Structure 1
Amino acid sequence: MNIKEYTKKDGTKVYRANVYLGVDSLTGKQVRKVITAKSEKMCNTKISRAINEFEKNGQTVRKVSVDDFKDIAMLWFDSYKLGVKPRTVQIMQTRLNNYVLPALGEYRIDKVNSIILQQIVNQWMINASQPLNGAYHRPKGKGKDFKIYFNIVERIFKHALSLGLVKDNPCVNVIVPKVRLESTEKKVKYLTAEQLKIFFEYIGALPKEKYTNELMTGLCRLLVASGLRIGEAVALSWSDIDFKTGSVSVSKTTLRAVIQSTPKTDKSNRIVLIDSKAVEVLKHWELFQAKYFMSIGKGKQELVFPNRTGGVLDYQTMRPFLIKWLRACQLPQVGFHGFRHSHASLLLNADVPYKEIQERLGHASIKMTMDTYSHLESDNKIKAVERFESIANF
C-alpha cells in the first residue's frame, strides 16, 4: 500500500492511497477503497479506520444498520407488509409512526430493558386515560389501543431475537395495565328520508351535461340505494351491474385511486339489489358517460365511475363538491360514508331484520351491525310500544 503525494491545481498538496480491504463476505469480490487526506499522517489514520470498519461490519461494505430499535422495526415492517392488505399496512404504519417509534425509535436495541418498556406502556395508558370532555375522537398520541402498541413492540423484539440481534426479549416481564377507559361516543352521521329528498332535488336541479354533476348524481344515488362503501362503488365495473335484475356485484375496492382485487373483508363479497329509481339513474349515467368519452376520442369505459380521463377515480377529489352541495341544502356534513349509514337507517325503520342489513352492508358479523346502528331504531322503539299497547288488553 503506497501513499502518494499529489499537488492540486490550486497548489495545495493531498495524500492518496488505494487501499485493499479484503474479500467481501457477501459478494466474494475484492474490495478496494481510495483514501484521501491533507497529510500523510491523516491518510494513515483514515486507512486504519476503513480497515477496522470493514472488519467490524463482517467483512462487507453492504452495511445493514441494526443498532437502533427503528432499524429493527423497519426490518420487521418490511416483512409484515408483504402478507397483508394495503389498508392494514396503512394502519400499522400509523401506529408505528404515532406511538412505537416516537417512544423507542432512537434507543439502541440492545439497551432497551423491561423497566424502559414498562414506563412507556404506563405512559401510553396515562395518555389514553385523559378525559375526553365529550370528544368523538381521541387526539393523536392518546390512543386507547396501548395493548396493541405493546404487542407490536413484542413482535419486533421476537423478530430481533430470531435474527440473533438480541439475547432475550425484555417484553416478557412487562405488565400491561388493565384499566377501563372512557369510550368515545361514535356518532353515526346520516340523512333522514326527508333530508335525502332535499339533497337529491337540489342536485337534480344542477346544470345537466356536466361530467362532475352527472357522475356525482349517479354515485350518490347508488351509495344510498345499496349501502356500498365509497371505495367499493368507485371500483365497480359495468359488468358488475345487472340492470335486468337490479343487482350490483361487489368483489373489490379502491385505495388511493388503486383498485384492490379483494374487498375489505370476506363478507364484503356480496350481491346487492337496488331499487328501480337507482337503476334508472345509473342507466342515464351510462348513456351520458358513453357520449362524453366518445366526444374526447375514447371508447366505452369499463369503470362505472371513472375520472374525466377514464382512470380510477380518487373519490377524495369529489369530496369538496359533496361538502358544497350539503352546505347549500343546509344539511349535515355526513361525507360519502353518511349515505351508507343513511341506507342502514332507512332499512331499520322499515323493519328490515339486522341479518339482512348485515348482508347488504357486508359486515363481518351481525354484532358489528347491531353495535353500529341499534341506537338509530328510535322509530321502531315507538312502534314496539304502540304494538304492545294494542294487544295488552288484559
Structure 2
Amino acid sequence: MASIYKRGKVWTANVFILHDGVRKRKTKSGFTTKSEANKWAIETENKKINNAISREDGLIVDMFNDWYKVFKEPHLETKSKTWYKTTSAVLSEHWPDKKLSEINSMMFQKLINEYGSNHVKSSVAHIKNMISAFVRYAVDEDFIFKDFTRNVKTYSIVESKDKNLKFLENDELEYLTDAVKTNDALTSHMILTAIFSGARFSEVAGLTEDDFDFNNNTITINKSWQENDREFKSTKTKSSNRVVDMPKDYMSIAKKWQFGKEHAFESITGLPPTNNAANKQLERILKNGNCKIITFHGLRHTHASYLLANDVAIQYVSERLGHSDVNITLSVYAHLLKKKRHIETNKTIKLLSNL
C-alpha cells in the first residue's frame, strides 16, 4: 500500500516492495501536486505486481562517471566539468570499492564531514549537490530504493574569504574609476565597463560592437565568452540576458574606443584579453593608489554594494545583475543589508514615535 504525504511545499510518495525476501521502502519526493505523487505510486505498484522492478548495482564511482558522461558532460562548460571531475576523484578516494547499494546516509555524512575539514563550505556544497543529483537519478531509474543524500548536511570548518574584502569602498572606487577612464589599455576599458554595468568578466568579454547602443545609452548582454573553450556561449541563466542602462559619461568615453571585428575588446590575437590579464591590470592600478586588492569579479560586488548602500531598490539591483531570483541577491549581500537594517530600524522607530 502506498503512502502519500506533503513535506513543505512538495509531495512525497512511499511504496513498499519485496526485494530478496526483505520488505523495503521505495521513496520519491519533489512532486508539485498530490496527483503527480499518486500517479508515480500507482505506476510503481503496477511494476511491483508485474515483477517489473529491476535493480542495477555497481561501483558508485563507475556509475557516477557513466551518468556524468551521458547526461552532463555534453551540456557543460569547462569550469563545470572540472567540478564533476573533482567529485569523481572524491568518490574514488573515499569509496574506491563501494557499490552504490552499500552506501547509506551515515557514510555520506562522514564523507562530507571529512571533505569539509579542509575545504570551504561552497566547495563542499558543490560536491554534495553533484552526488545528490546522481543519487536522485539512481532512485528514479530503480538502481537503489532510497535517496541516502536527502538528510545529509553541508559541513565545513574552513572559513571562506570575508565578503567585505570583495568590494571597494567609495574612495577606492572613485580612484579606480578616474584611473581607468584615462587609460587606453583594453583591460582598462573592460574594468570601466564592469564598474558601471556590474557585468561578469565572461559577459564583458562577450560584448561586441553591436551590443553598444549609443542612442539609448545601453549595452545588451545576451552571451558570454568562455576563454577556456574559446567560443561564445549562452549567459549563465536565462535572466542573465538583459539590457543595462549606462551613464552618458561612460557611453561618451566608450564611443571613442576602437572595437574589434568579433569582440568589442579585441587584442592583437583576435581574442579578448584573459581574465588573468584583466586581474593583473586591476591589481596594478589598485596598488598604485594604495587601495584594497580585489579581483575582476569583485567589481561586480562593488557595483551592487555601491547601489545598495545608496538606497537603490534591491529588486532593481537584482535585475541589473541578471540574478534569476532576488533571493540570490539578498543572500550574497546580506552582510551589507544588515548594516543598513540598523539605520532603517532607527528610522522606523522615530516615525512610529511621532504618531
Q: How does 1:3-42 map to 2 (within 5 A)?
A: none
* Cα deviation digits, residues 268-307 of structure 1 (max 9, x gap): 0100001122112212323xx5xxxxxxxxxx52311122
Q: Is the 8 A contact 1:124 1:146 kept in 2?
A: no
Post-superposition offset of 1:154: 2.5
Partner of 2:143: 169
Name the CA distance, whole Å, in 1 between partners of 2:170 and 2:196.
12
Partner of 2:318: 358
Partner of 1:28: none
- Tell me which structure has the larger Cα radius of gyration: 1
How many residues are paired up? 293
* Cα deviation digits, residues 43-70 of structure 1 (max 9, x gap): xxxxxxxxxxxxxxxxxxxxxxx98655
* TM-score, normalised relative to structure 1: 0.63
Partner of 1:53: none
Post-superposition offset of 1:311: 1.9
Secondary structure, counterpart of 1:249 in structure 2: strand
The aligned amino acid for 1:260 is F
Partner of 1:260: 232
Secondary structure, counterpart of 1:363 in structure 2: coil
Name the CA distance, whole Å, in 2 between partners of 1:178 and 1:158.
16
Partner of 2:174: 197
Partner of 1:151: 132
Q: Is the 8 A contact 1:121 1:146 kept in 2?
A: no
Q: Is the 8 A contact 2:67 2:134 kept in 1?
A: no
Partner of 1:345: 305
Identity rate, percent = 21
Q: How does 1:232-311 map to 2 (within 5 A)?
A: 232-257=203-228, 258-286=230-258, 301-311=261-271
1:382 aligns with 2:353: no
The aligned amino acid for 2:279 is R
Q: Is the 8 A contact 1:103 1:120 kept in 2?
A: no
Q: Is the 8 A contact 1:114 1:173 kept in 2?
A: no
* Cα deviation digits, residues 192-249 of structure 1 (max 9, x gap): 22111222334456xx6xxxx5212211111010111111000000101101111010
Name the CA distance, whole Å, in 1 between partners of 2:149 and 2:191.
49
1:91 aligns with 2:83: yes
Q: Is the 8 A contact 1:100 1:149 kept in 2?
A: no
Post-superposition offset of 1:317: 2.8
Secondary structure, counterpart of 2:257 in structure 1: helix
Q: Is the 8 A contact 2:223 2:233 kept in 1?
A: yes
Q: Which is further off, 318-327 or 351-360? A: 318-327
Partner of 2:296: 336
Name the CA distance, whole Å, in 1 between partners of 2:110 and 2:257.
54
Q: How does 1:185-224 map to 2 (within 5 A)?
A: 187-188=163-164, 189-203=166-180, 213-224=184-195
Q: Is the 8 A contact 2:87 2:127 kept in 1?
A: no
Post-superposition offset of 1:363: 0.2
* TM-score, normalised relative to structure 2: 0.69
Partner of 2:111: 124
